[in-house]
Amino acid sequence: MTIPGLRVFLKKHGLALGAQAQALRVLLVLGGLTAVCRWYGWSGAALPLALGVIASALAETDDSWRGRLRAQLATLACFALMACGVEWLFPHPWAYVCGFALAAFGLTMLGAVGARYKAIVYATLILGMYATLGAEHAQAVGLAGWRWQEPALLLAGAAAFGLVSVLWCALFPALPVQARLVRLFQVLGAYVQYKASLFEPLRDVAVQGRRLVLAQRNAAVVDALNATKEALFSRLGRRPHSGRLARYRGLYLIAQDVHERASSSHEQYEALAHVFFHSDLLYRCQRVLHLQGIACQRLADSIARREPFVMGDDGVQALAELRSAIAHARAQQPTPEAVALLASVQALARNLAQLQAQLAGASHTAHPAARLGRADMSLFDRSPRTWHDAWARVRSQCNTRSPLFRHGVRLGVALAAGFGVMTLFHLPQGYWIMLTTLFVCQPSYGDTIARMGQRIAGTALGVVLGWALIELFPQPLLQTLFAVLAGVLFFAMRSTRYLLATACMTLLVLMSFHQVMDSAALIVPRLIDTAIGSVIAGLAVLLVLPHWQARRIHEVAGRALREHAAYLQQIAAQYRSGASDTLAYRLARRNAHNADAALATAVNEMLREPGFARPQAGAALRFLIQAHTLLNYLSALGSHRTALGDAARGPLLQQAADEAGAALLALGEALARGQPPPADTAAARAARAALSALSATGAGDDAWLEGEAAVWRLVRTQLELVWLQVDALRQHAREWLGPAKGPSAQTEPEAQTQP
């Protein structure tokens, strides 16, 4: 293929390559090593080489080629230590199980350093079990000299995949960033379109249920933003950069701004629906937002095709019609209540116009964010910078309240229990119990129980499929091809279809073992060991330092409120000095959304736990909805940042904002400690009284809809909404921290609307 032809191919299929790049790398390495083994007749080497490839692929995380090279060297070092340790200790069973259990705990704790290290330590444990299976096989068939060859082959397979991975990262540095950007704008578009459903002027609509779904969808957007930022930072770092990656950074910053504006709420939707029930005003707001969600998804398509993005005129026309509808509503001599709400709708229209401009700025330029006057395009590095920072992260998790500490202890105990069951009942191929436990045992109860069923069903499916293929296709070459294909499909589906991925892994093992022995002898032990290992993992997560979200979710909620307070403080500072998208402001905004997403995830995990472990699930759901609504009101304040000047109202609004931030901070700290929420201070009561007096001054005044007065009214309205949310959050906190009210707490309307 010529260079121009390669460019055309990458332009058309680059997204597919980025989405399935790991599976393609596994295909290249696994297929190549298998071909070499067949060519030279090394049938016994095929399986350990394949398992080494799988372990190395499990340790892989998205990174630049330099970062991937450093990670690969660290991975090989960990693999070598683990494989050698297994070989030394395997002849001494009790020393082996004690050493492996301690290694499981220690390596799990090292995962606190970061996502890259978490993947490495998990893959190291998996490779340790693969080395154990190899040592057991060598002992069973009497291959004494094979014991040290097996670890060498595991490391050779891991090194081969690592080399291809580093080369791939060097050849295609932008493909992962492109794929993550595409996903980001897809989920952002879905979020914006769902947000539009809140503008339906219908009576008796379950707005709280929709807000709960919106909070969950917001968590998906936050996850996509974080993944894109990490992919960008690993390649750009702190150096100035040009070309495609610089454009992708600009698109990421635009996505951040679009997210802030799309997540804004300017008024209570129930009040808007009541006042404008007989008007098409809200439907026009809904249409504009819906078209902007479609534009986000069209932008995702243009990024995938590497084509210029053309915004189109539909959104501009819809905005013009919305402004016309607002002018018509003002001309109808509305009531004072309608005038007040019209001011919020007009602020919403300004916000939607800015959102439209953000999307229009994503044109085919080198720096799309620069068109919007952005000066600070830096990104914040969350990875540890020194060994001291890394150790501090690990040390902070060394307490029994840490979910990571509990998972490490639980995993070590579960592996020891699996070894004990194997030894007690003299089970053949019993080390599969420990391997299954390692795969199934997850930090959360819900994930572990889900994996139990999927692992057992997937193994059964893989065994049946493997037996059928062996009987139908006895040719060794075809069986080898099936094994390679199964390994590739495992990595293509392990994040989305775990049951099928488990079936593929079982098929790979059966096909590979059949090259050196009759794998029919493995079928029944494999099924029994998988069932025992899964049950042990389920019992461990239930009995060994169980990590019930309901017992710590108040800490997550408290952290969310503290981050909301920090976000409000940054917003208030910019109403003094003027709008500027500094790194400090964007970091506070991202921290607030991260904390909100963490709260949504914790509540979702809590709802998957047994009923006895979550007596206050209804209160937690209501708190999540109110906390996310608060973040929506803060986002609206952030979207309209501008200097308020030194007029008489300025100090009053600033004081109200400062006191609201202080109240949120105090509430968050009290909630994190499990203490009753504090009442308003004297300063807070004075600020709220002044805010109410300012509200009464302009009530029903149509002059507040234009110019600088509109900004004053917006800030005042949003601060009033923020204070209302503070009161609601205090009430929910009192209910939450109070005594459980029995099973009725599980049947709240909101609990039934979870996505």
pLDDT of residue 224: 94
Helix, strand or coil, per DSSP, at residue 370: helix
Each residue's pLDDT tens digit, 400-409: 889 999 999 9
Q: Which tokens is 655 given?
A: 């004081």
Q: Do 523 and 576 lie in a common domain? A: no
In the listed set 144, 172, 200, which residue is the last one of a domain according to the structure? 172
pLDDT of residue 18: 57
pLDDT of residue 458: 95
Torsion of CA 725, 727, 730, 735, to 10 degrees: -100
311-317: Cβ within 8 A, 24+ apart: 311/356, 311/359, 311/360, 311/362, 311/363, 315/288, 315/291, 315/356, 315/359, 316/356
Q: Residue 395: inside a domain, yes or no?
A: no
pLDDT of residue 293: 94
* Across 343-360, average pLDDT: 89
Q: Do 519 and 605 lie in a common domain? A: no
Q: Do 538 and 566 lie in a common domain? A: no
Q: Containing domain of residue 655, as a range?
A: 550-753
Give how many domains the chain has, as a whole number. Answer: 4
CATH number of the domain encompassing residue 192: 1.20.58
Q: Is the pLDDT of residue 138 over 90?
A: no
Contact criterion met (CB below 8 Å) for 417 and 100? no
pLDDT mean across residues, the chain: 85
Q: Residue 2: inside a domain, yes or no?
A: no
Q: Do 106 and 249 lie in a common domain? A: no
Q: Do 614 and 526 lie in a common domain? A: no
Q: Residue 207: inside a domain, yes or no?
A: yes
Q: Residue 557: inside a domain, yes or no?
A: yes
Q: Residue 389: inside a domain, yes or no?
A: no
Q: Is the pLDDT of residue 274 over 60?
A: yes
Instruction: Collect all residues with Cβ–Cβ distance below 8 Å to 430 and sequence separation of at least 6.
Output: 421, 422, 423, 525, 529
Q: Do 337 and 433 lie in a common domain? A: no
pLDDT of residue 714: 85
For 237: left if phi > 0, alpha if psi spans -120 to 50, otherwise beta; the answer is: left
In the listed set 172, 193, 211, which residue is the last one of a domain according to the structure? 172
Each residue's pLDDT tens digit, 295-338: 999 999 999 888 888 888 888 899 999 999 888 888 887 777 78
Q: Residue 484: inside a domain, yes or no?
A: no
Q: Is the model more confident about 100 or about 236? A: 100
Each residue's pLDDT tens digit, 33-85: 999 998 888 877 888 999 999 999 999 988 888 889 999 999 999 999 999 99
Q: Do 610 and 498 lie in a common domain? A: no
Backbone angles phi, psi at 272, to 5 degrees: -60, -45
Q: Do 644 and 725 lie in a common domain? A: yes
Q: Do 213 and 105 lie in a common domain? A: no
Going by pLDDT thresholds of 50, 70 and 90, the confidence category of residue 474 is: confident
Q: Residue 134: inside a domain, yes or no?
A: yes
Percent of the chain with pLDDT over 90: 45
Q: Do 697 and 566 lie in a common domain? A: yes
Closest CA to 67 of 218, 170, 221: 170
Closest CA to 510 of 464, 549, 556: 464
Q: Is the model more confident about 9 or about 232? A: 232
Q: What is the CB-side half-sphere exposure of residue 661 using CA atoms within 13 A?
A: 18
Q: Residue 20: inside a domain, yes or no?
A: yes
pTM of the model: 0.87
In the listed set 372, 395, 412, which residue is the last one of a domain according to the structure? 372
Contact criterion met (CB below 8 Å) for 543 and 606? no
Given the structure tokens 């993944």, which residue do they identify? 227
* Across 599-604, average pLDDT: 92
- Largest distance between two CA atoms of the chain: 95
Q: Do 204 and 335 lie in a common domain? A: yes
Q: Which tokens is 553 given?
A: 């979710």
Q: Is the model more confident about 354 or about 267? A: 354
Neighbours of 425 (CB within 10 A): 10
Each residue's pLDDT tens digit, 541-596: 999 999 888 888 889 999 999 999 999 999 988 888 877 878 888 899 999 999 99
Q: Is the pLDDT of residue 8 over 80?
A: no
Q: Do 643 and 530 lie in a common domain? A: no
Closest CA to 702 of 333, 353, 352: 333
